[in-house]
Structure 1
Amino acid sequence: MFVLVNLKTYPCDPIEVAEAVRDVNESTDARVAVAPQATNIAQVAETGAETWAQHVDPIDYGSNTGHTLAETVADAGAVGTLINHSEQRLKLADIDGTVQAAERADLETVVCANNPAQIGAAAALGPDAVAVEPPELIGTGTPVSQADPDVVEDAVNAARNVDSDVSVLCGAGISTGDDVVAAGDLGAEGVLLASGVAKADDPTAALEDLVEPL
């Protein structure tokens, strides 16, 4: 099971969370990673935690002021990137270009989508994984696996029908180990979460709770 913690722009200590991710990752069979803000990627990667970017742009080297180049992210220590998070939506052509840019830089990719139909379209672009995240549940503490389990099962089927090599993650409202188990029972191979760890008083304890049932 893959557990990817997105720190967004929450006022947390990215190093503290990264150290918790590193330590918990070493004590569990789950794969645990963290996605800090772009300016913190190098520092976070230096902790030894598996580090992801929250976003890269569909660009190559050149005149692209204000954009994030995939190669720069990789050079800073990231091994993967989120794409098309509900808080950073892209057009389909830009998702395609971003997947290609990430692959060029040897970054793993997780493309986020709102529903099973979008999951199928995203899977057709050849990412490593897709994440189904109904935006109305993000940050609510109510997991999609509980609020609408059919969405997760349908997303898994939609991805498999397009490309069986694309993994499906479950996002939105994940905060406990029971949520992670429920996502796995519905066919998801991982979870994408944020506030459950980033806002926790004790990130290590929050992560241990997430992976303990696995």
Structure 2
Amino acid sequence: MFILVNLKAYPCDPIEVATAARDVAEESDVRIAVAPQAAHLSAVAETGVETWAQHVSPNEHGSHTGSTLAEAAADAGATGTLLNHSEKRMKLADIDASLDAAERADLETIVCANNPTQIGAAAALAPDAVAVEPPELIGGDVSVSTADPGIVEDAVDAAAAVDENVDVFCGAGVSTGDDVVAAGDLGATGILLASGVAKADDPKAALEDLVSGL
């Protein structure tokens, strides 16, 4: 099981979360990564935790003010990137171009989608993984694996029908160890979460709970 903690633009201490994630990953032997703001990529990577970019832009070097260059993210220590999160929606052609950019920079990729139909379309672009995240559950207290387990199972089937090599993750509302176990039982091989760790009073305790059933 892969756990990716997206810090979004929350007012948390990225180094505290990164250090906690690194320690829990080492203690539990569970793969845990942190996706901080782009400005914090280097500092987070220096903690030794697996570090992901929240987004990379669909362009190469050139006149692209305000873009997040894949190569720059990699140089800062990122080893992967999210794409098409519900808070950073992209056109299909731009997802494809960002996947090309990530490949140039040797970044692992996860493409987010709202539902199984979109998961199938995303899987056709051959990312390393896709993640199903119903927007209405993001940031809430009820996980997708509890609120709508069928959508996770259908997403797994949709991706497998297109490319069996594409992993399927789930997110939206995931915050406990039970949520993680439930996601795995439904066929997901990873989870995405944010507020459950980034907003926790004790990020390490929150992460320890997440891996408790694995």
TM-score, length-normalised on structure 1? 0.99
Percent same amino acid at aligned positions? 75
Equivalence for 2:33? 33
Distance (whole Å) between structure 2 residues aligned to residue 198 and residue 17 of structure 1: 7
Q: Residue 27 of structure 1 aligns to a residue in which SS?
A: helix
Counterparts of 1:161-200 in structure 2, within 5 Å, are 161-200=161-200
Number of equivalenced pairs:
214
Q: Which stretches in structure 2 are left out of the alignment for 5+ residues?
A: none
Find the aligned partners of 2:29 and 2:40 in 1 and give their Cα distance: 26
- 1:125-182 superposed Cα distances (whole Å, 9 cap, x missing partner): 0100000000000011100111010000000000001000000001000000000000
Mapped to 2, the partners of 1:103 and 1:115 lie a distance apart of 25
CA distance in 2, matches of 1:29, 1:185: 19
Question: Normalized against structure 2, the TM-score is what?
Answer: 0.99
Runs of at least 4 residues off by over 2 Å? none
Corresponding residue number in structure 1 for 2:150: 150
Consecutive unaligned residues of structure 1, counting only runs of 5 or more, are: none
CA distance in 2, matches of 1:134, 1:99: 22
**C-alpha separation between the residues in 2 aligned to 1:28 and 1:162?**
33
Across the aligned residues of Structure 1 and Structure 2, the Cα RMSD in angstroms comes to 0.4
Matched with 1:113 is 113
Aligned residue for 1:89?
A: 89
| CA-to-aligned-CA distance 1:180-214 (integer Å, 9 cap, x gap) | 00000000001000000000000000000000110
Partner of 2:9: 9
Q: Output aligned runs, 1:56-67, within 5 Å.
A: 56-67=56-67
CA deviation profile, 1:24-55 (whole Å, cap 9, x unmatched): 01011321000000000000000001000000
Residue 33 of structure 2: SS of its match in structure 1? strand
Question: How far apart in 2 are the matches of 1:180 and 1:142?
Answer: 12
